[in-house]
Amino acid sequence: MSKNVRNLSFRKGLDDNLFEHLAEAHSEEKGLDQDTLHTIADKYLIGNANVYGAATFYDFLNPEKSNKKVFSCAGSACMLAGTQGALHQRLEQHFEPSEIGEVYCLGRCYENSAFHYKGLNYSGEAAKQISQLKEGSVKTLPDHYTVGSLGKGILTAASPSPEESIKTLVRLLESNPDTLLEEISGSGLRGRGGAGFPLAIKLAGVKKEVADDKFIVCNADEGDPGAFSDRYLLEQKAHLVLFGMAISGYITGAQGGVVYIRAEYPEAIEICKKAIQAFNQLFPFKKANGETVDFKLHVVKAQGAYICGEETALLSSLEGLRPEVRTRPPFPVQYGLFGKPTAVNNVETLANLHAILTDGGAAFKAIGTAKSSGTKLLSLDSHFNRPGLYEVDMGTPLSKAINELGGGMKEPVKAYHIGGPLGGLVPMSKIDDLTIDFETFAANGFLLGHASILSIPARFPLVEYLEHLFAFTAHESCGKCFPCRIGSVRGKELLQKARTSDYKIDRTLFNDLIETLEKGSLCALGGGLPLPVKNALQYFPEELGEYFK
């Protein structure tokens, strides 16, 4: 059935996209309109159940949330900062409790008290102006966070203007695609969103596939609580991201590019929609040798689903299907968007291509370490004395980033959760052992991932934090595989029961649970959750021991 819907969706293409029509069927006043859904089903020659099942998966389209007027951030950073209780009290002075919903995460981790109202995000002291926001006398409020670097500083340095980027792109479109791919390969650039897969291998995989249609997809569904590096790039350096997509399209022979941006980043969506106009005007591009290069960029607004950060779920979402994880192989480079060869890349990864192809792959390779070249963006939360977005050379000591860039901590911290909810839980005793690169994190049993650094205060019970991680996974699971769908709920229930009563968890049972999640889950949501849990059990046996037999 999925293949049939995928093929039917492909017939309409990205200009008449099924997923975007599902989003249009929802309004704040009426919620999800059934008549509109039936019209969509008829148009695409698919069943009403397929359309309804796909639409209701998303937080912002789910009928249960149709009466919500304001959304409070329930992300880990805001929870650990302890700001959301006071925010809820203030919101309840202006809205009925039933009108207040929750959302993960708004990318305001540097100051917290974050909420989403009428399509825009607010944080910090903005809650004091809710009356003005409701009246319409105030719509947008200043949003400031520190941006800095330690080392080379590629993405935080002054960047070329959009016009200059277009000129560079025109020049490179006259180059041999193989030469450009060799330059990227020589840079050693690895994906900045998760496991660090080499970009050149992914692009080469799509390039060698023979197909009439190929795609480049930018995964801008940055849902990791504590991370806001993608948001920074999309709002401040959108042209670098689009440049990376366009040149990737030329190298691979792709004709379409999609920036899939989470609905929780409304400002980024509007900025990117404006930025793509200049790039799309360039195509079709006629080279000096008479060859024509065509590539069209699209911005697609997601609708609230953390699982869409997983590349195959994202592709299913774009096709108008329920965003469930696909089994692999086949991999997206062979069978991706609409079943066509597709390269799915992270925002930060693509943004690096401008520097690599103007300064040279060797210059990028010279930064960082032998296996982790270049720089990495770090997101530091509000527990730091200088929270914000920072860039460091790969291989920089973690302690240096924390103390020199972050300026140390505002209160005692017992651990850092680095790399999102599926990243490693790093105790203070391990800070001096880590440098910011893929290798040392993996060697020490952690994961660099997005490199968001979330602080767990000494005052915050770890058992409560682990329960939160299981609850987050249960809420965001696509439900396709049993280990994630059921195991996340069982883990939450066990920890909650032990935390709120005299119940003691059987350690063997709990170990079996996290092993089943780790080995049996189809993707990194269920499969990655055990990492911070095991880290916590390993490094904090005294604190957590009282909850186990």
When pLDDT is averaged across residues 135-154 and rounded to a whole number, the result is 88
When pLDDT is averaged across residues 406-419 and rounded to a whole number, the result is 96
When pLDDT is averaged across residues 118-143 and rounded to a whole number, the result is 87
Q: Which of 157, 182, 302 is nearest to 233 (CA)?
A: 157
Can you give the pLDDT at residue 457?
97
When pLDDT is averaged across residues 202-220 and rounded to a whole number, the result is 97
Is 24 strand, coil or helix? helix
Task: Strand 388-393: give its sheet, edge to edge.
Answer: 146-150, 388-393, 375-380, 452-457, 413-418, 424-427
- As given in the structure block, the two tokens for residue 409 are 């901590």
What is the pLDDT confidence band of residue 9, given thresholds at 50, 70 and 90?
A: confident
Q: What is the spatial distance between Cα 196 and Cα 437, in angstroms, rounded to a whole number?
A: 10
Can you give the pLDDT at residue 139?
78
Least confident of 25-34, 107-116, 336-345, 442-451: 25-34
Q: Is the pLDDT of residue 167 over 70?
A: yes
The phi and psi torsions of 165 (rounded to 5 degrees) equal -65, -40
Q: What is the spatial distance between Cα 497 and Cα 510, in angstroms, rounded to a whole number?
A: 13
What is the pLDDT confidence band of residue 193, given thresholds at 50, 70 and 90?
A: confident
What is the pLDDT confidence band of residue 143, given thresholds at 50, 70 and 90?
A: confident
Q: What is the spatial distance between Cα 267 and Cα 260, in angstroms, rounded to a whole number?
A: 14
Can you give the pLDDT at residue 26?
85
When pLDDT is averaged across residues 252-258 and rounded to a whole number, the result is 97
- Could you tell me whether strands 115-117 and 120-122 are parallel, antiparallel, or unpaired per DSSP bridges? antiparallel
Is 380 strand, coil or helix? strand
Can you give the pLDDT at residue 109?
94
> What string of H, E and C letters represents the secondary structure of 350-376?
HHCHHHHHHHCHHHHHCCECCCCECEE
Q: Which residues contact 515 (CB under 8 A, 6 or more apart)?
A: 530
Contact indicator for 191, 309 with CB cutoff of 8 Å: no
Q: Is the pLDDT of residue 188 over 70?
A: yes
Can you give the pLDDT at residue 3?
80
Report the percentage of the chain scoring pLDDT > 70: 99
74-92, pLDDT tens digit by residue?
Answer: 999 999 999 999 999 999 9
The amino acid at 81: A
The domains of the chain, with CATH numbers, are: 2-65 (no CATH), 70-144 (3.40.30.10), 148-365 (3.40.50.11540), 375-455 (3.10.20.600), 462-545 (1.20.1440.230)
Q: What is the spatial distance between Cα 528 and Cα 508, in angstroms, rounded to a whole number?
A: 20
Beta-bridged to residue 53, according to DSSP, are none
Q: What is the spatial distance between Cα 427 and Cα 450, in angstroms, rounded to a whole number?
A: 18
Tokens 């920890």 sit on residue: 495
Q: Is the pLDDT of residue 1 over 60?
A: no
The phi and psi torsions of 159 (rounded to 5 degrees) equal -105, 160
Can you give the pLDDT at residue 458?
97
What is the pLDDT confidence band of residue 142, given thresholds at 50, 70 and 90?
A: confident
Average pLDDT across the chain, whole number: 94
Q: What is the spatial distance between Cα 260 and Cα 183, in angstroms, rounded to a whole number?
A: 27
Can you give the pLDDT at residue 246?
98
- As given in the structure block, the two tokens for residue 11 are 């017939």
156-165, pLDDT tens digit by residue?
Answer: 999 999 999 9
Can you give the pLDDT at residue 191?
94
Helices 462-476, 482-500: inter-axial angle, 10-degree rounding? 150
Can you give the pLDDT at residue 423?
93
Can you give the pLDDT at residue 518?
95
